[in-house]
Chains A and B, each alone.
Chain A
Amino acid sequence: MDWRPIHRWLGLVAGTIALILGITGAVLAVDSVRDAWQSVPAAADLPVAALAQRVSATISGAEEIRRLPSGDIVVYAFDAGRAMASRVDPADGRVLGPYRPSGLSHWFKKLHRSFLLGDAGRLGAAAVALGMLLLSVSGLMLMLRRMGGWRRLADRMRGSLVQRLHAATGRAVLVVLLLSSATALYMSAATFDLVVLDAGSEPDVVSVQIAQAELPAGRLPLLQGLRVGDLRRLGFPSAADPEDTWKVTTAQGQGWVDRYSGQTLAWQDATAAQRIHDWAMLLHTGEGAWVWALVLGPAGASIPLFWVTGLILWRQGRLPRPRLADNSPSAQADVLIFVASETGSTWGFAQTLHDALVRSGHRVHTNSLEHFQVGTAARRVFLLAATYGEGQPPAHAARALERIARTPVTAAQVAVLGFGDRQYPAFCAFAEALDAALGAQGWSTLLPLTRIHQQSAQEFARWGQDLARALGEPLELAYRPRLPPTTELQLLSRQDYPGGADQPAVILRFGLPAQRWRDRLAGQGLARFVAGDLLGVLAPGSGAPRYYSLASGRRDGFVEICVRRLPGGVCSGFLHGLQPGDSIQAFVRPNPGFALDGERRPVVLIGAGTGVAPLVGFIRANARRTPMHLYFGARDPARDFYFGAELERWLGEKRLASLRTVFSRVANGGGYVQDALHRDAGRVRALLARGAAVRVCGSRPMAQGVARVLDDILGTLRLSVAQLKAKGRYAEDVF
């Protein structure tokens, strides 16, 4: 079942109206807390008889005692032609003052219950409650899919700030919203008599005058046995009607008592429906349970947050599927392209491939994967597949594997291209499943499965070169991602290193331009960035950005990156040519899985070469002196010990708890960084056992080597790198 459209449309329609319910609900929860704090409640075991006796003594003409949900005792009286309502101290029956319920609270309550529109509004509010219930359920289903099942529900959230805000808030308040909407529906059903709360007709009972004198309230056996804590209301017998009786209503039921004999004339137990209603009322309003009201209030206030973030996510997800020029009919095409994409980003790559093949004279048919079908004219078939959450296919392609299994195999050659993010445990798992299924069916392979990390245009272009060779024809795949607006940054200073392997490196520090307040508010431009985020740099004349890990955050007041010059590298060459005063065009791309979350647990930082840059940024930002331990692998202290002086200084300042350096090209230098970890196994194990977070930055082989060593160390703790990754404790930034 695809919950996404349900969640989206309910959110847009019911969610918008629920704004009113959420805000007013939060206000009413504050009322509940305030009422509870101001109340003067009775002792828990005070008998109702004692309370009635005290009230009779202090208030003449008392007609009814009510115990408000807050615990306050209110007495209604009619004395000398005047109707009075008083708050009473149950300890002695003393009048505390007149009882005047707040008109403003009443107005908010009406707005919450019926939008001030009477019964039509009540029906509308009930419909919105139903919408909220379905929103909560569909949200839970989507979250389970996103997180990869119940067991991972408590894991760390990934994704953009807006996604995390939406999902993490949902995870926190889901149960409360489910309860609130379910109880609202029950109470609405009672309001519209779909649920009958009372026990039927009242008993026909009268007091029988056997003596002149009435029994005082304190001597009525039924009232002696009832506790004020359970009391809802107690009706005094009317002075004008000698046959009238006492009538008491408690959580357990209602009873009628003869005013002369004190006999219990009748007792009706509260119906099950009434008891459920009482619980629904308590859970929905928090009246009389201020701790719960403190939970309800923020849950109500979270609805505007859901609405805003949901709206942003909806707009972001509404990326239009590209219009494909020259999309040949399926039966005539010699090239078929099938796309599986949750958010639409993979379609951009499909379009690039489609256009390039059309330019080379092919007849290309591109479609989404659920339409997988291979005609006799087709000679090549491409599958471009994104993976979602725990290896699931995008929703629209959920049945693609079954469809492929049913499709007759032809002579066409297939190639699968997977899109995903290495931060996730199941990187490109769906593409792997597709590739395996096609292989098992017996399709011949044009190119082996290729995995594209974080929509990398470079990796896509490399695959295009492989494809050109396989097809034996020229083909260039120049994917132009939609780039965020860039900011001009001016170089303040540069620090040059000879670098290892004859590749000089430079630390570039750029000034932070003044921010317009509007951008700062909207979080645009360079409004927010932390060490570990990525700086996208556009070299002049180049449409594809190169990304560099940031060694500084916004609070440092500058933008710092460490760039190794690659042979033939356009962007690294451009950056190496910069002199102080020169400018670049750049933007920030968040790298949320990698940045540290600010918890006070130890951190093990492992970096090699220029990969130390984001780790340096973490240490620089470590004003709280979280114990950070850096393992830094370089080649030669004289050539590529980047940030060496700063690291020494931070050691002294305790920003950095310990520093282990190894130099692979120096005699007795200690080898590679994974060798240092292996030697330090005991110490690293102790840190990991204490819950240390791990951040690794460097080349892919280095990261793989580190993961192997850490898996060995973690084995004795019955843990693995994969488990730590799933919890967000372990993250890599590899290049």
Chain B
Amino acid sequence: MSRPLMTTVAAACALALPAAAHSRPVTIATTLENYGGDGAYLAVYLTDAQGAYARTLWVAGGKAKYYTHLSGWNRLSSGDSKRLQGVTGASVGQGRTLRVTADLADALIDAGYEIRIDAAVEDMRDSPAEIRVPLSAANAGKPHAGRQYIQSFSFELQ
């Protein structure tokens, strides 16, 4: 029972990775469950083939003091001083959909990278690995369910 698409966000990201001859926009759509709580904090980020942090795509939720509850992202990205630059927005209400667009280098696709989402809701449990989906052309357009808060997640390559 998802409400109309309310939160549409475009994140124009400078490429943090070198030697990217070409890049393409990736659109990520995340629809939340009606879990019966306040707005969710979400961290959408990329990890590489070794599981190391690559880049933050979006952080939903404005209060930095709650970022420790996005524990996987918070730990992995702690060395990235620019992790929040231009990629933050409001927390996402239950039943609503977050859309994020990012420019990703072609080299990242089908190269072992993963899109991960950590989720947390005030007074409810944290969900550090709510979504882990390999960034592969084959996965594009396929819906995935999260563990706790995300009803459906999918990304589109253009």
Residues of A within 8 A of B (CB): 63-64, 66, 76, 78, 83, 85, 101, 103, 106, 109-110, 119, 190-191, 193, 196-198, 201-202, 204, 235, 238, 240-241, 243, 247
Is B36 within 8 A of A235, CB to CB?
A: no
Is B68 within 8 A of A106, CB to CB?
A: no
CB distance from A702 to the nearest CB of B (A): 70
A193 in contact with B74 given A83-B147, A101-B123, A240-B129 (CB within 8 Å):
no
Interface residues on B, range: 20 to 34
Across the two chains, which residue of chain B brings its CB closest to A83?
B148
Kindly identify, within residues 8 to 34 of chain B, every residue whose CB is under 8 Å from any CB belonging to chain A: none
Bound complex: CA A202 to CA B37 (Å): 27
Is A193 within 8 A of B147, CB to CB?
A: no
A198 in contact with B65 given A106-B37, A204-B79, A240-B129 (CB within 8 Å):
yes
Q: Across the interface, which residues of A come within 8 angstroms of B148, CB to CB? A: 78, 83
- Besides the known contacts A78-B148, A241-B129, 4 further A-B residue pairs in the complex with CB atoms under 8 A apart: A63-B125, A106-B123, A197-B65, A235-B71
**Interface assignment of B134: CB less than 8 Å from any CB of chain A:** no
Bound complex: CA A190 to CA B148 (Å): 28
A202 in contact with B125 given A193-B63, A240-B132 (CB within 8 Å):
no
Kindly identify, within residues 39 to 54 of chain B, every residue whose CB is under 8 Å from any CB belonging to chain A: 51
Q: Across the interface, which residues of A come within 8 angstroms of B1, CB to CB? A: none
Bound complex: CA A197 to CA B67 (Å): 12
Is B63 within 8 A of A238, CB to CB?
A: no
Is A64 within 8 A of B129, CB to CB?
A: no
Bound complex: CA A203 to CA B56 (Å): 19
Is A238 within 8 A of B65, CB to CB?
A: no
**Interface assignment of B75: CB less than 8 Å from any CB of chain A:** yes
Is A64 within 8 A of B125, CB to CB?
A: yes
Is A103 within 8 A of B36, CB to CB?
A: yes
Is B75 within 8 A of A204, CB to CB?
A: yes
Across the two chains, which residue of chain B brings its CB closest to A82?
B147
Bound complex: CA A63 to CA B72 (Å): 13
Across the two chains, which residue of chain B brings its CB closest to A74?
B125
Is A201 within 8 A of B128, CB to CB?
A: no
User: Considering residues B63, B65, B148, which has the most beta carbons from chain A within 10 angstroms of its beta carbon?
Assistant: B65
Chain B 123-140 per-residue mask, 1 if CB under 8 angstroms from chain A, else 0: 111111100100000000
Is A76 within 8 A of B125, CB to CB?
A: yes
**Which of these, A85, A119, A238, A240, contacts B125 with CB under 8 Å?**
A85
Q: Across the interface, which residues of A come within 8 angstroms of B37, CB to CB? A: 106
Bound complex: CA A78 to CA B36 (Å): 19
CB distance from A637 to the nearest CB of B (A): 79
**Interface assignment of B106: CB less than 8 Å from any CB of chain A:** no
Q: Across the interface, which residues of B come within 8 angstroms of A243, CB to CB? A: 51
**Interface assignment of B38: CB less than 8 Å from any CB of chain A:** yes
Kindly identify, within residues 111 to 158 of chain B, every residue whose CB is under 8 Å from any CB belonging to chain A: 123-129, 132, 147-148
Q: Across the interface, which residues of A come within 8 angstroms of B75, CB to CB? A: 202, 204
User: Considering residues A83, A85, A103, A110, which has the most beta carbons from chain B within 10 angstroms of its beta carbon?
Assistant: A83
**Interface assignment of B78: CB less than 8 Å from any CB of chain A:** yes
Is B128 within 8 A of A193, CB to CB?
A: no
Q: Across the interface, which residues of A come within 8 angstroms of B64, CB to CB? A: 193
Is B65 within 8 A of A193, CB to CB?
A: yes
Is A110 within 8 A of B51, CB to CB?
A: no
CB distance from B37 to the nearest CB of A (A): 7
Bound complex: CA A243 to CA B72 (Å): 12
A-B contact pairs, 8 of them (CB 8 A): A63-B125, A83-B127, A109-B123, A193-B64, A202-B74, A240-B129, A240-B132, A247-B71
CB distance from B124 to the nearest CB of A (A): 8
CB distance from B131 to the nearest CB of A (A): 12
A191 in contact with B63 given A202-B78, A235-B71 (CB within 8 Å):
yes
CB distance from B40 to the nearest CB of A (A): 14
CB distance from A353 to the nearest CB of B (A): 65
Q: Across the interface, which residues of B come within 8 angstroms of A83, CB to CB? A: 125, 127, 147-148
